[in-house]
């Protein structure tokens, strides 16, 4: 069974839910890690008052016994303390759609002049459930020494010069965790905070760039057989599915269009002394492909970048239309953040992890963790000997 996740819940409803299917039995879940990811998603400079209310923790309602998966569908619940969906004073009808949000498109889709139902489901609050699902999937990846690491790369006119490698990523992670905006470069961090402060003064919002790296993937995850089985296609879809994301790049991304082939493609090297590594001895002096060729991992680290637009809810409002009267009015204001880029980087890290875990199980699937390990080990032993010694 393919690893899948569906979510349910409204922003101000009782809870968010993630339904995960396809996990093998026998996977021990690291609850401290999962809840730490949920806590990181709530943090970051620029967040609004909602985060002071919530205390996100994963509650497992099905599919887990004594912290270990049973092989049955797994249900994760994230309670909403700010649950007031049926309180019409707290969550009144919204008739003036916010430009950039799902409000107008949803109102027309469901043939109503009240945007409330659309905005409640379209809200980025949904990402709490998706982040929990990603953290669960990463518990599986870590059993095979596959690690996922994400951070904020930049905003507006500032881009962190940080280089992330197999050798230094854990040090970079420590620097990220010391940053109020989850950016490992101190100068860039200070500039981002300044941009957020200015946006708040101007009653405006800002977005930015996130980046995720995956280390330790064996070659061959994904497929070149069908377009919808390509791992880069699935990663792009998962990242673009995060609220407010407008672009995804893998490796050099759009830069490839400005370079020649000899400048883009990564030469292949082989070192028999490294065949016990996850790349089985096949290395590259560069990683312009971002670890994926032909829809499959090639043994190099996966590198994915995502662009988040500024949040659609502006305190100053924007020109809009009252759907009850048809008259021009300023858009409604719904309590929101000035910047959620740090949180978005956590969401991106976890949705990337989920897709990599799904591709891993597609290659080495089994109904129990022991069978998954056996399948992986048989493949790894064969791959190490594909080149005659």
Task: For the chain, list the domains and their CATH numbers.
Answer: 4-384 (3.60.150.10)
- If we measure between CA atoms, which residue out of 129, 131, 21, 39 comes closest to residue 77? 129
Contact, 183 vs 196, CB < 8 A?
Answer: no
DSSP secondary structure letters along 18-50: EEEE-PPBTPBP-HHHHHHHHHHHH-STT--TH
Residue 61, helix vs strand vs coil: strand
What pTM was computed for the model? 0.95
Give CA separation, 101 vs 200, 293, 311, 334, 385, in Å.
19, 35, 8, 11, 53
Residue by residue, pLDDT tens for the chain (389 residues) are 799 999 999 999 999 999 999 999 999 999 999 999 999 999 988 776 656 677 899 999 999 999 999 999 999 999 998 888 888 887 899 999 999 999 999 999 999 999 999 999 999 999 999 999 999 999 999 999 999 999 999 999 999 999 999 999 999 999 999 999 999 999 999 999 999 999 999 999 999 999 999 999 999 999 999 999 999 999 999 999 999 999 999 999 999 999 999 999 999 999 999 999 999 999 999 999 999 999 999 999 999 999 999 988 887 888 999 999 999 999 877 766 889 999 999 999 999 999 999 999 999 989 999 999 999 999 999 999 998 75
Please list the residues that pair with 209 across neighbouring strands: 154, 307
């Amino acid at each position: 069974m393919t690893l899948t996740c569906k979510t349910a819940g409204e922003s101000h409803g009782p809870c968010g839910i993630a339904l995960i299917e396809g996990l093998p039995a026998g996977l021990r879940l690291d609850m401290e890690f999962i809840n730490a990811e949920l806590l990181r998603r709530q943090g970051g400079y620029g967040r609004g008052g909602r985060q002071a209310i919530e205390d996100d923790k994963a509650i497992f309602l099905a599919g887990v016994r004594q912290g270990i998966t049973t092989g049955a569908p797994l249900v994760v619940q994230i309670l909403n303390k700010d649950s007031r969906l049926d309180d019409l004073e707290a969550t009144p009808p919204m008739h003036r759609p916010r430009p950039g949000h799902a409000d107008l498109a949803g109102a027309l889709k469901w043939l109503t002049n009240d945007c409330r139902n659309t905005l409640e489901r379209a809200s980025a609050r949904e990402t709490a459930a998706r982040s929990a699902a990603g953290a669960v999937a990463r518990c599986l990846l870590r059993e095979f020494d596959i690690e996922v690491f994400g951070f904020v790369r930049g905003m507006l006119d500032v881009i962190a010069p940080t280089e992330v490698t197999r050798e230094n990523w854990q040090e970079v992670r420590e620097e990220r965790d010391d940053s109020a905006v989850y950016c490992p470069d101190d100068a860039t961090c200070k500039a981002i905070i300044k941009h957020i402060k200015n946006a708040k003064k101007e009653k405006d919002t800002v977005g930015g760039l996130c980046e995720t790296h995956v280390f330790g993937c064996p070659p061959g995850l994904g497929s070149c057989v069908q377009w919808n089985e390509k791992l880069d296609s699935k990663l792009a879809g998962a990242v673009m599915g995060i609220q407010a994301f407008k672009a995804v790049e893998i490796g050099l991304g759009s830069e490839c269009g400005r370079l020649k082939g000899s400048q883009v493609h990564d030469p292949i090297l082989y070192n028999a002394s490294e065949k016990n590594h996850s790349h089985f001895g096949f290395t590259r002096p560069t990683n312009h492909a971002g670890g994926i060729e032909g829809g499959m991992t090639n043994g190099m680290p996966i590198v994915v970048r995502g662009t988040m637009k500024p949040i659609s809810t502006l305190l100053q409002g924007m020109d809009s239309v009252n759907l009850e009267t048809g008259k021009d009015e300023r858009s409604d204001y719904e309590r929101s953040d000035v910047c959620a880029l740090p949180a978005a980087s956590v969401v991106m890290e976890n949705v990337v992890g989920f897709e990599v875990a799904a591709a891993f199980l597609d290659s080495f699937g089994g109904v129990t963790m022991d069978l998954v390990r056996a399948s992986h080990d048989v493949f790894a032993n064969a791959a190490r000997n594909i080149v005659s010694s």
